[in-house]
Structure 1
Amino acid sequence: MSQLPDLVIAHGTVVNSFGRRNAHVVVDGGRISQLVDAAEAVPAAAKTIEASGKLVIPGGVDGHCHVAQVTGRFRTLDDYRTTSTAALWGGTTTIIDFGIPRDAQETPLDAVLNKKRLATESRCDVALHGSVVSWDETVPWQLERLAAEGVRSVKMYTTNRGSTMADGDTVLKVMREMVRLDGLTYIHAEHDAIIADCTEQHASDGLIGIEHLHRTRPELAEEVSVKETLAMAEYTGAPVYFVHQSTPGAVDLVTAARERGQEAYSETCPHYLTLDDTVYGSAFPEWYACCPPMRSAETVAALKDRLTSGAIHTVSSDHSCYDLSQKRERTDDVRYMPHGLPGVETRMPVSFTALVPESGGSVEDFVEVFSAGPARINALPRKGAIVEGFDADLVIFDPSTQRVVDGGALHMGTDFSPFEGKTLNGWPDVVVSAGLVVIDEDGFHDPGPVGRFIARNGFAEHRHALAGPLPIPAASTTA
C-alpha cells in the first residue's frame, strides 16, 4: 500500500503570476507533487486543508531584509529566529539578508559567513547578498568564494560616506567581477555629495531634527545616482538592481534603460507606496526614519501608478528592527539616528492593499512583485510559483478580509509599526513553509530551526533555465 502524501490544500483558487486555476494542491516531502483539477475528487492525504472560496498563492520572497544588522553604534534588536517567525506570520517563506561588513576590519566574505552561521536559527528559508565597501586586491577572490557559497549578488551604497559607502571606482570594479561571476549588482542609490551638502545646509539653519528628514534627502539625489549607476552598468554590461526606489523618476530611468536592452530592475517598499512626507509633521515622526525618506503625496501616487503598470519588479520590506528607544536617542539630529523600519511581517497586507483594492491591480500582479519576481530575479531555485516540483511554500487567504494594524500584536521584536492603525486586506490565514503548516487558525506552530540556506544560481544561468514557459493553468476563473 502506497504512503499517503503529507498534505492536500483542497478547492482553492491557485494564483500564480502567469494565471490561475481552481485546484487541489498536493504536497509531499516538502515539494508540490501534483495539482489536481478542483472538479476531481480530493486526493487522500495525511492532512487536508479546505480552501474553498480562498486564494492560494506562492509563499512570499522578501529580497531585502536586514537581520541582526550592526551599523555604527546601533544594532537591530532582532535575530533570525525572531525575523523568520515574523516573516512567516506575514506570508513570507524566504528572506534574503545582507552580509554587510560592520567595520573596516570585517571583510565581505567574513560578513557573509557570519550571517550564514546566524541563519541556522531561522524558521524559514534564507539566502544572502554580499556587500563591498572598499576595493582591494582580495575582493575578486572573495567574490569567487561567495559565488561558490551560492551568494550571487553584491550590494553597494552610493552614500553613507565613512561607513558603508563604496566609491565610483569600487562600484565599477565590482560590477566587472559580477559579470565575470554571473552575478547581480544591488545598489542603494542616493548621490552622496548632494545629500551631504543638503544635510549640512539644513544643519547650519538649525533644521536637522527628524521633522526635517525628507528635506535633507531630495528626490534629485536619488535620481542622479540611479542615472550615474545605470551608465556604469551599461559600460560594464552588469545586471543591476536598485533597492527601495521611492520616486517615479528613478523607476522611469530604469524603464528607459531596459528599453535600451539593459538588465536593470526596480524595487520599492510598502512604506513608499502608502505613506507620504506629512508623517514627519505627525506626533511621532521618529516612526518614519528611513532612507530614502517618505516623499510627497503626488510622488506616492505616481509611484503606485508605476507599480500598477508593471514598471516596478519587486516589493521588498527593507526590514530593519530598531525600537523606539533607539529611534528617540537623537531625534534632534537625523545624522545620528538609526534609519530603517520594521516591515517583514506587514509586507503582504500593505503591498496587497496598495496594488489590488486601492489601485485595481490583479492578484497575479501582486504575486509577481511579492513572490515570483523576487525569486526569478534573485535566481532562487524552486521558488515563486505553485507548480509541480517547486518547494511547497504556500499562503492561503481571503482577499476580502480586513484587519487593522496593531503594532503591539505583531511579532517583529520591536514596539511599533509605521502602519499602526491602518486597515488592510491581504493577511494570511494559513502559511505552509517547505511543506510544514506553520500558521493556521490556531496560531504559530514553531517548526524549530528548520530554515535552509538557499544557494542561488547564476543570474544568466537561472534566466536561461526559465526560458521555457512555466505551466499555464488549464482553466481560468475570475475572483
Structure 2
Amino acid sequence: MSGDLLITGGTVVEAGWSGPADVLISDGRVSALVETGTATAATTIDASGRLVMPGGVDPHCHVGFTSGEFTSLDDYRECTTAAVYGGTTTIVDFAIPRPGENPADVAYAQREKASQGLCDSALHGCVVEWDDTVPDQLAALIGDGITTFKMFTTYRGETMASEDTVLRTMKTLAGLGGMVVIHCEADHIIGDTQRSRAAAGRIGATDMAATRPALAETASVAEVLAIAESVDAPVYFVHQSTAEAVELVAAARRRGVRAYTEAVAHHLVLDDSRYAGDHPERFVCCPPLRSAGQVEALGRHLFTGEITTIGSDHCCYDTAQKEIHREDVRAMPNGLPGVETRLPVIFSEYVVRRGLPVSRFVELTSAAPARANGLYPRKGTLLPGADADIAIWNPEATWQVTASGLHMATDYTPYEGMRLTGRPETVLVNGRPVVEDNALADPTPRGRHIRAVPFGRGGA
C-alpha cells in the first residue's frame, strides 16, 4: 500500500479509540490507517513518541466581528494562522447582521472570505428579527451549506431576538434540517442588575462578574429549552458557563430534546479572581468568568459527558480597545482572544493534570464540533476518506504562554505566564504540512468554505 505521505510511528487518537498506527495520505485525504511498517509513501513524517490527532474544529470563532463601536482586529488570514499554530484546522465563523441587514446577504459576503485562510472554515448564519422574507432566506442558506444560525437573548437593540423570533426561527429550521445556536442570558435581568450597579458607581471592569449574574443565564436557558421542546427543534447552547446551565440542558436531553452544550476554554480554566487583578478589562467577556467553585463544577462535566463541545469564542480585541471604557462594562467590547490557545490549554489543564482521556479530548475539541456543525466525517476524524487535517502533538513538551510567542492579531492573551504541558508541533491541512516544528512551513492561503450537511443527515 502506498500514497503521497505517510505519518509513521505515532499513536493515533480518535474520539472512540487510540493506538499505534500509521496514517497514509493521498490526494489530500486519509486513505488508510495501517499497521506500522506496512505502507510506503513518497514522503514520510516520523511521529515516534507523538500523538497523531485529527486537527481541531473550533465551533465558535468571531473573525473581524463588529459589536457596538468596536471591530475585532483579525481577518481570515490572521485568525487561521493562529488557529493552525494551535492545532486547529477548521474554524466556524459567524455572519451576524447589523441592524437593517439581511441574514443571507451578510452570510454570503462572509463566506467569500474563506479563501484568505490557511485552513478551511464553515459558517453560522444569524437571525435577529423575523419578517416574511426570513423563511426563504433560511431555506436558501441551508441549500448552500449554511445550516446553523446564531441567536442572542441579550444585547437589546443590536443582536437580541425576541422569544417569538426564536420560536419562529427554530420551527422553520426544524423543517429544513437547520439548528439554532444560541447565546443565553436574560437581558431584562442583566439590564436591571446593571442599572442598579451603575447607580451605585460599581459598573467597571472590576465589577464584571456581578453585572451579568449566573441566574440570567440559567433563566434564559430554561426559556429557550421550553421553546425548543414545544416545536421539537434541535438547539445548541454556546459558551455555557455554569454547571447549572449544563445540567438544565442535560435534563432536557434525557426527556428527548435534541439539546447540546458548548463550553469554552476560558470558562473551564479561568475564574473571576482575574477581575481583581491589575488589568480586569482584559478578561471582560459574556458570560463573565465565574467563581472558582463554579469553574470546578463546570469542568467536572467534561468527565460526565454532559458537555458536547469545547470552543474558543475567539474575539481578537487588543488592550487599547479593552481600556477605552474600562469604567463601564456596558460600553466595553466583550470577548477574549483564544483560537490559538484553546487546544493547548485544555490539553494541559484537563488531559495532563486532571486525567481526561485523550480520546475524550478529541471528541470534545474535534469530532463533536464537526458533528454538531454538519462537517463530520469530512472533518473531526482520521478515518479513511476524511480530509487529512492532522495535528501531531508532543504530549510532554513544556512551555510558557506569552502574548509575544503567539500569533493572534492582538497584544495580549488571558493566559499570560501560564505553564503548559503538551502542544502540537506539526500540523497538516488537507495533507500539506502548514506548521512544522512549531514554525510556519507553508503560508499560502488555500482555505475553503466547507458546506455543512443538514442536521440529521450526518450532523449531530
- Is TM-score (shorter-chain normalized) higher than 0.5? yes
Note the aligned Cα RMSD (angstroms).
1.2
SS in 2 for 1:47: strand
Aligned to 2:406: 410
SS in 1 for 2:41: coil
**Equivalent of 1:170, from 165, 174, 184?**
165
What's the TM-score once normalised by structure 2's chain length? 0.98
Does 1:455 find its partner at 2:451?
yes
Does 1:427 find its partner at 2:409?
no
Aligned to 1:272: 267
CA distance in 2, matches of 1:461, 1:139: 23
CA contact (8 A) 2:20 2:35 kept: yes
Read off the aligned partner of 1:12 and give its amino acid letter.
Answer: G
CA contact (8 A) 2:453 2:459 kept: no
CA contact (8 A) 1:348 1:426 kept: no
User: How does 1:308-457 map onto structure 2 within 5 Å?
Assistant: 308-381=303-376, 382-441=378-437, 443-457=439-453
Read off the aligned partner of 2:47 and give its amino acid letter.
Answer: A
SS in 2 for 1:426: strand
Does 1:84 find its partner at 2:80?
yes
**Equivalent of 2:238, from 239, 243, 260?**
243
Read off the aligned partner of 2:323 and give its amino acid letter.
Answer: R
Read off the aligned partner of 2:261 and give its amino acid letter.
Answer: S
What is the deviation of 1:138? 0.5
What is the deviation of 1:447? 4.3
CA distance in 2, matches of 1:119, 1:378: 16
CA contact (8 A) 1:308 1:359 kept: no
Deviation per residue, 1:121-175 (Å, 9 max, x gap): 1110010000011111110011011111100011100000010100101000000
**Equivalent of 2:90, from 71, 91, 94?**
94
User: How does 1:13-24 map onto structure 2 within 5 Å?
Assistant: 13-24=11-22
SS in 2 for 1:265: strand
CA distance in 2, matches of 1:331, 1:301: 28
Moved beyond 6 Å, runs of 4+: none
User: How does 1:132-143 map onto structure 2 within 5 Å?
Assistant: 132-143=127-138
Deviation per residue, 1:77-99 (Å, 9 max, x gap): 10000001110001000000000
Question: Can you give the 5+ residue segments of structure 1 that lack an aligned partner in the other structure?
Answer: 465-479
CA contact (8 A) 1:239 1:263 kept: yes
Aligned to 1:131: 126
Aligned to 1:71: 67
**Equivalent of 2:229, from 234, 259, 284?**
234
**Equivalent of 1:31, from 29, 41, 44?**
29
Deviation per residue, 1:6-60 (Å, 9 max, x gap): 211001100101001211101111100111112x34x322211101111101100
What is the deviation of 1:420? 0.4
Question: Can you give the 5+ residue segments of structure 2 that lack an aligned partner in the other structure?
Answer: none
Aligned to 2:49: 53
CA contact (8 A) 2:348 2:422 kept: yes
CA contact (8 A) 2:147 2:453 kept: yes
CA distance in 1, matches of 2:386, 2:114: 22
CA distance in 1, matches of 2:4, 2:80: 23
What is the deviation of 1:442? 6.3
What is the deviation of 1:383? 1.0
CA contact (8 A) 1:199 1:216 kept: yes
Number of equivalent positions: 459
Identical aligned pairs, as a percentage?
A: 49
Aligned to 2:178: 183
SS in 1 for 2:240: coil
CA distance in 2, matches of 1:214, 1:341: 15
What is the deviation of 1:386? 1.0
